Structure 1
Amino acid sequence: MSRISIILPAKNEAAALKNLLPRLTAAQPGAEIIVVDDGSTDDTRAVCAASAVTCLSSPYSMGNGAAIKRGARKASGEILVFMDGDGQHDPADIDRMVARLDQGFDMVVGARDWESQAGVGRGLANTLYNWLASRMTGHVVADLTSGFRVARAERFREFIHLLPNGFSYPTTSTMAFFRSAYGVAYEPIKAAERVGKSHIKPLKDGIRFLLIIFKIATLYSPLKLFVPVSFLFFLAGCVNYAFTFLTYGRLTNGSTLMWSASVIVFLIGLVSEQITSLTYRRTD
């Protein structure tokens, strides 16, 4: 059994895999390499066969996160290495990242610098995610959305049921590790320009990425999101009451509704906190 299993989700990435797989094999000759073909219509399977690596094929596209989950279940190594199949990540960085696990960490994430971001828009969005995640967890989160990461297999599989089928699996797995008090480290990497066209659609996926912001909060500590919102409603009700009392000498329905909303939001936060605690409860 290989100590390291390398998992690459791929959808129509045959052009990138032709160059990447030989480099991976040379850099990690003893590793198990699994390409998860997410409903590709190109010759991804033929490229994998030519490089003598395992290819898990799906009859239709299920999503990047679904490919990660299928690969993690199939892998036999005690250490899982996740890389994008588009050629952005350098196989030479794997040894450096795996070495950080030996320092007592449970997951090591490849942290991209600004030059490695795919455009200014994506760079600004990732900066916002990193800042929010750092505020929520109390730890420095250098790259929340990086798809290049190394994790102990037994730890990662604890959270497979939480991972979405879409592109936000890095966010979910990072916050899950922090929530469960598993050590997370960041290793600086350089990401190259991807081979071929990106599968991310700015308009459609932009809305999805906005939802990630709320997911970050609810995955770690819902009360940190709901309490400030509850306070804002309460404060707005007080301001509205002060204005209407000084102007009309009475309490209006607007203030009452805002105070009611404050209480409701706070109670939803309490319930969400309990649900989150149950979600992370380990069952052996």
Structure 2
Amino acid sequence: MEDQKNHSSLSIIIPAKNEGVALNAILPRLRQILPRAEIIVVNDGSSDDTESICRAHDVVLLSHPYSVGNGAAIKSGARIAKGKILVFMDADGQHHPEDIQTLTAQLEKGYDMAVGARSRQSQATIGRSIANTIYNLLASWMVGRKIDDLTSGFRAVDAEIFRDFLYLLPNGFSYPTTITMSFFRAGYRVSYVPIHASPRHGKSHIRIVLDGLRFLTIIFKIGTLYSPLKLFLPISLGFFMLGLGYYAYTFLSFGRFTNMSGLLFTTSLLIFLIGLVSEQITMLLYRGTGKK
């Protein structure tokens, strides 16, 4: 009885774009495993039979008139979801409905978000695996906590907390990066659960080079929102050491202090002050979060 009660407060949100074949297999499994859960499919301007398949399986269907983006679909689903716990999963068949209860169990233990962390064997290509490793290391350095899978789209989260960050989420594919780093910044508890992801059905919508650069941009952008001094302080120290080194060289060679050394020292100070001001602004930005 308690298990059914928990399922009734669960909303499963699936952003979908031309994933009719995979949805035809996923939706019946979801309904069988979690019969009382609210299942929301956000049709992001699909041109296949995604919409008719969703109607046939009696799920909540929200359709965008044209493709807005994966992140936009996530936000649309989160706004209409009724459950206290939101589960996000891809529509391409990579994520297993059987793993949902493992994720939600982490929230019952006191975590605010549980993320399905894919193994190396689950990565689509070697290049994708290497890129995700770099993203994970960079983001872990910024937040000061180990991030096992920065870009995983399979996660369970407290609905009330998640909606506090909707305004930060981009419309594209990098919403997992943004929400993960934002949760750490606001002091929420994040758990990583090892999962195995199956090969996707159909062709991926992610463009390796363009979206890879976009992911890096998002990491640095959220890094400045998370802890600006983590970015500005090393740069400031770099300019300071350059100025100090150049001053030592000119003093030993010519016995004087040059304009270039002064410029480097001044640049170092300005970058540090910009980082300091950004840090104060960041604290104001997150002042309303961290409450539960």
- State if a TM-score over 0.5 links the two structures: yes
SS in 1 for 2:76: helix
Q: Is the 8 A contact 1:34 1:56 kept in 2?
A: yes
| AA at the equivalent of 2:226 | Y
Once residues 265 and 219 of structure 2 are traced to their aligned partners in structure 1, the CA distance between those partners, rounded to angstroms, is 26
| AA at the equivalent of 1:150 | A
What is the root-mean-square deviation of aligned Cα atoms in Å?
Answer: 1.6
SS in 2 for 1:118: coil
Q: Is 2:189 the counterpart of 1:161?
A: no
Tell me which residue corresponds to 2:139: 133
Alpha-carbon shift at residue 86 of structure 1 (Å): 0.9
**Residue correspondence of structure 1 range 138-149 to structure 2 within 5 A:** 138-149=144-155
2:32 is matched with which residue: 26, 29, 53? 26
Alpha-carbon shift at residue 149 of structure 1 (Å): 0.2
1:44-64 CA distance string (max 9 Å, x none): 111100111111111111111
**Residue correspondence of structure 1 range 57-96 to structure 2 within 5 A:** 57-96=63-102
2:253 is matched with which residue: 228, 247, 250? 247
| TM-score for both structures, normalised by structure 1 | 0.95
Q: Is 2:54 the counterpart of 1:16?
A: no
Once residues 158 and 146 of structure 2 are traced to their aligned partners in structure 1, the CA distance between those partners, rounded to angstroms, is 21
| AA at the equivalent of 1:26 | Q
SS in 2 for 1:109: strand
Once residues 281 and 31 of structure 1 are traced to their aligned partners in structure 2, the CA distance between those partners, rounded to angstroms, is 33
Count of matched residue positions in the alignment of Structure 1 and Structure 2: 284
SS in 1 for 2:142: helix
| AA at the equivalent of 2:211 | D
SS in 2 for 1:236: helix
Once residues 210 and 158 of structure 1 are traced to their aligned partners in structure 2, the CA distance between those partners, rounded to angstroms, is 24
Tell me which residue corresponds to 1:188: 194
Q: Is the 8 A contact 1:172 1:219 kept in 2?
A: no
Once residues 260 and 15 of structure 1 are traced to their aligned partners in structure 2, the CA distance between those partners, rounded to angstroms, is 60
1:204 is matched with which residue: 188, 192, 210? 210
Alpha-carbon shift at residue 216 of structure 1 (Å): 4.2
Q: Is the 8 A contact 2:178 2:219 kept in 1?
A: no
Q: Is 2:265 the counterpart of 1:262?
A: no
| TM-score for both structures, normalised by structure 2 | 0.93
Alpha-carbon shift at residue 252 of structure 1 (Å): 2.8
Alpha-carbon shift at residue 139 of structure 1 (Å): 2.1
Unpaired segments of 5 or more residues in structure 1? none
Alpha-carbon shift at residue 8 of structure 1 (Å): 0.6
Tell me which residue corresponds to 2:287: 281
| AA at the equivalent of 1:257 | L
Alpha-carbon shift at residue 12 of structure 1 (Å): 1.1
Structure 1 outlier segments of 4+, above 3 Å: none
Q: Is the 8 A contact 2:135 2:216 kept in 1?
A: no
SS in 2 for 1:206: helix
| AA at the equivalent of 2:174 | S
Tell me which residue corresponds to 1:52: 58
Once residues 125 and 212 of structure 1 are traced to their aligned partners in structure 2, the CA distance between those partners, rounded to angstroms, is 14
Q: Is the 8 A contact 2:71 2:173 kept in 1?
A: yes
Alpha-carbon shift at residue 160 of structure 1 (Å): 0.8
Once residues 264 and 286 of structure 2 are traced to their aligned partners in structure 1, the CA distance between those partners, rounded to angstroms, is 33
Work out the percentage of aligned pairs sharing the same amino acid.
62
Once residues 251 and 121 of structure 1 are traced to their aligned partners in structure 2, the CA distance between those partners, rounded to angstroms, is 49
Q: Is the 8 A contact 2:182 2:222 kept in 1?
A: no
Once residues 21 and 257 of structure 1 are traced to their aligned partners in structure 2, the CA distance between those partners, rounded to angstroms, is 62
Q: Is the 8 A contact 1:6 1:82 kept in 2?
A: yes
Q: Is the 8 A contact 1:133 1:216 kept in 2?
A: no
Larger deviation: 67-76 or 35-44? Answer: 35-44
Unpaired segments of 5 or more residues in structure 2? 1-6
